[in-house]
A and B are shown apart, each in its own frame.
Chain A
Amino acid sequence: MIGGRGRVVASTWVPGAFGIEGFGAEGFGVAWVDLEDGPRVQVLVAGAAPAAGTPGAVAVRVLEGVDLPVFSAESA
């Protein structure tokens, strides 16, 4: 299971609803993040797609029995 601090490499915004209730009802982001202590990972982003270089953390949320790796940007 992935998690930890890292920086966004690149991202996209998907305007459709995510298929699981409780996440991304009005669209969501997908990003590649280089973890400080691990490889490059693909993660979901709640809200707007973050710019390259944005620092933050990846944590796993479980919804409807599915593991969602979600990136949250560090607040300034």
Chain B
Amino acid sequence: MNVSVRGVGLVPFGTSELPLVELGRGAARAALADAGLDYADVGEVYATSSLAPPQHALAVAHGLGHTGVPVTAVESASAGGLVVLREAAWAVQSGRCDVALAIGYEKTTALTPGGIVPKPVGVWDYVTPAAPYAVQASQWIADGLGTVDALAALAAKNWNHARANPDAARRVDHEVTAQEVLESRLVASPLTRMMCHASVDGAAAVVVTRDDAGSAHPRLVALTQTSLPYDPAWPLVGPAIGSPLQTARTAEEAFRGAGLSPADIDVVLLHDLCVIEEAITLGALGLVPAREVAAMAVAGELARGGALPTNTDGGCLARGHPFSATGLAQTVEAVRQLRGTAGDRQVDDARHALVHAAGGGGSCAVALLAG
């Protein structure tokens, strides 16, 4: 794959009074302005939301213009953002159009705080989504891969990254310590509130174009998507995500497709509904040996300025997690890092970025971008 990421934009995450479709339009307009293009230039639109009512994608697109181009709605839970980016990328890669627009938008603040479904149906809808992550955290600790203090250090890192991100929902006025994370309210042992995602409203959008030789824009060099493969060690139920095995396979395919290796990656944006997901996913992606993640977290090696900065925008924990918008918001951050325009969050000499999204029900996507 060789597609230019020409424009990115988002609506700051938090609690919004705007209607859902206006959130989507706002992000799309920001991405088009960033690309220096008009909506009339767009050949196809892909839009995603997990909680939106029917016809939402057409409503968003028609608010941008009545150009008659194909508009496709996608639902893939928290992986939706990268899934629509993949569709948009293939629309231009295949020659179907020259410019495609991917939009993700969600309002989750009306849900029970920390919840992910509007109305319980099955048994697991009655249980905080943090619970299966807490089981994984207990297993991770019991297996000797790390401690709760290491998880707290990892979470504190994301909260402190968000302090430098004006678009993040959870921005505090002081340096967050691991101790503060540990002392926040217990959600599901050993995970505390500051180790779990922020329920927010938000939207993000990305404009992709066919890559022209000599283009100065960051390029999308791989974007792979999978559903959960057979994995008897993974009790997928309710709205939970897929397994580390799935993550590993998705990433391996992306690296193979791009001709890159994990050692090439300079900055990582990964899905962290709870902090343990970041710890386990770093290993599954092949970026850090599983037994070294905890030590790197405690030593600050996963923070900006460290060996492998992760979730420089604050991640789901502190940037916030508006489900379907998350993968595109991560891509916005990756592009800003590759452009060198990430401000106080800038990673030195960032040339390759990895974006990982995981969606409830067992959807996973991994994107690789080059500056």
Chain B contacts for A36, CB-based, 8 A? none
Measured CA separation A58–B41 after assembly (Å): 58
Verify A40–B135 contact, CB threshold 8 A.
no
Verify A10–B127 contact, CB threshold 8 A.
no
A25 at the interface (CB under 8 A from B): no
Q: Which of A16, A18, A40, A49 contacts B232 (CB 8 A)?
A: A40
Given A32-B139, A40-B232, A42-B237; A13-B122 close (CB under 8 Å): no
Verify A19–B235 contact, CB threshold 8 A.
no
Verify B142–A52 contact, CB threshold 8 A.
yes
B248 at the interface (CB under 8 A from A): no
Interface residues of A in 14-56 (CB under 8 A from B): 14-16, 18-20, 30-32, 39-42, 44, 49, 52
Verify A32–B123 contact, CB threshold 8 A.
no
A66 at the interface (CB under 8 A from B): yes
Interface residues of B in 185-211 (CB under 8 A from A): 186-191
Interface SS majority for chain B: mixed
Verify B126–A42 contact, CB threshold 8 A.
no
Chain A contacts for B186, CB-based, 8 A? 15
Verify A12–B188 contact, CB threshold 8 A.
yes
Verify A40–B126 contact, CB threshold 8 A.
no
Interface residues of B in 115-140 (CB under 8 A from A): 120, 122-124, 126-128, 131-132, 134-139
- Nearest CB of B to A32, in Å: 5
Measured CA separation A31–B126 after assembly (Å): 15
Verify A10–B139 contact, CB threshold 8 A.
yes
Interface SS majority for chain A: strand
Verify A12–B123 contact, CB threshold 8 A.
no
Given A12-B189, A32-B139; A18-B126 close (CB under 8 Å): yes
Verify A30–B235 contact, CB threshold 8 A.
no
B233 at the interface (CB under 8 A from A): yes
Given A10-B139, A15-B186, A30-B188; A42-B128 close (CB under 8 Å): no
- Nearest CB of B to A51, in Å: 9
Interface centre among A16, A32, A42 (most CB of B within 10 A): A42
Interface residues of B in 165-187 (CB under 8 A from A): 186-187
Verify A30–B120 contact, CB threshold 8 A.
no
Verify A42–B188 contact, CB threshold 8 A.
no
Chain A contacts for B191, CB-based, 8 A? 12
Interface centre among A9, A14, A66 (most CB of B within 10 A): A14
Verify B126–A66 contact, CB threshold 8 A.
yes
Measured CA separation A10–B235 after assembly (Å): 12
- Nearest CB of A to B158, in Å: 21
Given A40-B234, A42-B235; A11-B138 close (CB under 8 Å): yes
- Nearest CB of B to A41, in Å: 5
Verify B188–A14 contact, CB threshold 8 A.
yes
Listed in ascending order, the chain A residues whose CB lies under 8 Å from chain B are: 9-16, 18-20, 30-32, 39-42, 44, 49, 52, 66-69
5 A–B contacts from the bound complex (CB under 8 Å) = A12-B191, A13-B189, A42-B124, A42-B235, A42-B237
Known: A13-B188, A42-B237. 15 other contacts (CB 8 A): A10-B136, A10-B142, A11-B138, A12-B134, A12-B137, A14-B187, A19-B120, A30-B135, A32-B135, A32-B139, A42-B132, A42-B135, A42-B240, A66-B123, A68-B123
Shortest Cβ-Cβ A-B pairs, 9 listed: A12-B134, A10-B139, A19-B126, A42-B235, A30-B131, A10-B138, A13-B189, A12-B188, A14-B188
